Chains A and B, each alone.
Chain A
Amino acid sequence: MEAFMNTPVMQMLSDPVLYLGLGYGLILTLEISALSIVLSFVFGTVLGSMRYSGLPVISQVATTYIEFIRNLPALLLILVSYFVLGLPAMWAATIGLTIYTSAIIAEIIRGGLNSVPQGQWEAARSQGFSFLQSMRHIILPPAVVKMIPAIVSQFVTVIKDSSFAMAIGAYELMFKGTILAAKYWKPAQIITIYVIISLVYFTINFIISTIARRLQTKLSAGRGTIGS
């Protein structure tokens, strides 16, 4: 037992510095992710609706933004936010991820709206439903069922991509882990640190992925067929 406790890995694991470091990293990872998720959801919904609207200029502006941004790496947008826009690291990561994720969520929103056949609109409007009523009662219920699982799994992508912030020196989980790995230089210690970080990301993302899957089953049950 004594010999086991004195192995380099056990020494590292009994050092509170490790947990403090990773803990602070995790907090920043969660801050960047949560802010990006909220902001991208808002902007993504606006952009997706703009594109879906088909209104002359409005729809084209949204289309250009979406098509341009979603074909760029998220890392590039983070680097641009940091080096060109000159934002502090944490905000550069948040804004970079938001610019990128808004375009992805916009496409999910538009895809969901488009999945409802045009005939449903026409039927609703012809029955005297207003624009908002048609949206609320006819278009959105089946569209949202399609959107929610995809949006939730996009949140997983945001959490994973927040690790790109280490490229601009934001002390999030991945960067903190790498710094600690350099402090404990023994191979077994370094590998242990990477395994711990992986497990932290995995736990958070697995919970979210599971919720997304549950939602998909729950929402699609008893829907989508006539008469159900």
Chain B
Amino acid sequence: MSELIQNIRFLQEGPFAIPRWEALFSNIDVIWQGLLVTLLVASLGLVLALALGTVIGVMSTSHWRIARAVARVYVEFFQNTPLLIQVFMLYNAIPLMYPGLFIPVVVIGIFGVGMYHGAYIGEVVRAGIQSIGRGQLEAALSQGFSYVGTMRYIIIPQAMRIVLPPLTNQAVNLIKNTSVIAIIAGGDLMYAGDSFAGRYGHYGPTYVVVGLLYFLLCFPLARLTRRLEDQTRAA
């Protein structure tokens, strides 16, 4: 059997050779550490994105013109420029403007994906709020609810059903987009994989494992999105 394996060239040389797999798995801790950073950036980034998105969404449906304008500018800026350049601005420009201020790359990642996906979630929240008839808002306000109270007790609970599927979809995109911090040496899963692969040239196995890990993070959420979409359609 081992002789047979030794005679198959594909397993001995080339990008997916067995020694490359062995090298990867004897250094697999590097990958786990990267995965941990990705999980940290994704979860805190998601919290930030949800908070910002809710504020932006509520602002863009408010009566107050300035609030609507601010929300509009925020959304248009973040949706129409690459995440990468926003991350680079945080990474390069802030230390230039405030010399001596040191921001860890992980924090830049959290703010990068948080603010970027906050814009998308803001649009999702806006669409959710607007899907609830104007009458609901007027009824609640006429009953003495404050604007915030109306949102909290009347509009948001109903909008949840419409908002949830695109929201989980944004969570998937957010996880995938945490990978851009690899370009500023973010220490995340992509960076860990890429720098390990680059050091020894073991690209094949490393990318397979890194890809599988991203898939395992995203696929359950993507399935959930599909299920929620079906539920919304059925309702």
A201 and B203: CB pair below 8 A?
no
- Output the nearest chain B residue to A77 by Cβ-Cβ distance: B211
Binary interface profile of B, 212-223, with partner A (CB < 8 Å = 1, else 0)?
001100110010
User: In this assembly, does B69 line the interface, its C-beta being within 8 Å of a C-beta of chain A?
Assistant: no
User: In this assembly, does A10 line the interface, its C-beta being within 8 Å of a C-beta of chain B?
Assistant: no
Known A-B contacts A166-B183, A190-B92, A206-B76; A76 and B214 likewise in contact (beta carbons under 8 Å): yes
Q: Name the distance in Å between B197's Cβ and chain A's nearest Cβ.
A: 7
User: CA of A49 to CA of B185 in the docked complex: distance in angstroms?
Assistant: 40
Q: Which residues of A contact B68 (CB under 8 A)?
A: none
Q: Which segment, of B1-9, B81-89, B136-144, faces chain A?
A: B81-89
Known A-B contacts A84-B203, A84-B204; A79 and B80 likewise in contact (beta carbons under 8 Å): no
B85 and A181: CB pair below 8 A?
no
* Most chain A CB within a 10 A radius of its CB, from B76, B84, B203, B207: B84
User: In this assembly, does A156 line the interface, its C-beta being within 8 Å of a C-beta of chain B?
Assistant: yes
User: In this assembly, does A83 line the interface, its C-beta being within 8 Å of a C-beta of chain B?
Assistant: yes
A167 and B182: CB pair below 8 A?
yes
Q: Which residues of B contact A177 (CB under 8 A)?
A: 85
Q: Is the interface of B mostly helix, strand, loop or mixed?
A: helix
User: In this assembly, does B172 line the interface, its C-beta being within 8 Å of a C-beta of chain A?
Assistant: yes
Number of chain B interface residues as a range: 35 or more
Q: Name the distance in Å between B228's Cβ and chain A's nearest Cβ.
A: 14
Contacting residue for A209 out of B80, B92, B96, CB 8 A: B80
B79 and A75: CB pair below 8 A?
no
User: CA of A70 to CA of B169 in the docked complex: distance in angstroms?
Assistant: 11
Binding site for B on A (CB under 8 A): 67-68, 70-76, 79-80, 83-84, 156, 159-161, 163-164, 166-167, 174, 177-178, 181, 187, 190-191, 194, 197-198, 201-202, 205-206, 209
Instruction: Offer 21 A-B interface pairs, CB within 8 angstroms, sorted by A.
Output: A73-B179, A83-B207, A159-B82, A163-B82, A163-B84, A164-B84, A164-B180, A164-B183, A166-B183, A174-B82, A174-B88, A187-B97, A190-B92, A190-B93, A194-B92, A198-B89, A201-B82, A202-B80, A205-B81, A209-B76, A209-B79
Q: A72-B211, A161-B82 are in contact. List 11 more A-B contacts (CB 8 A).
A: A71-B215, A71-B219, A80-B203, A83-B207, A84-B204, A160-B82, A174-B88, A194-B88, A198-B89, A201-B81, A209-B79
Binding site for A on B (CB under 8 A): 15, 76-77, 79-85, 88-89, 92-93, 96-97, 172, 176-177, 179-180, 182-183, 190, 194, 197, 203-204, 207, 210-211, 214-215, 218-219, 222
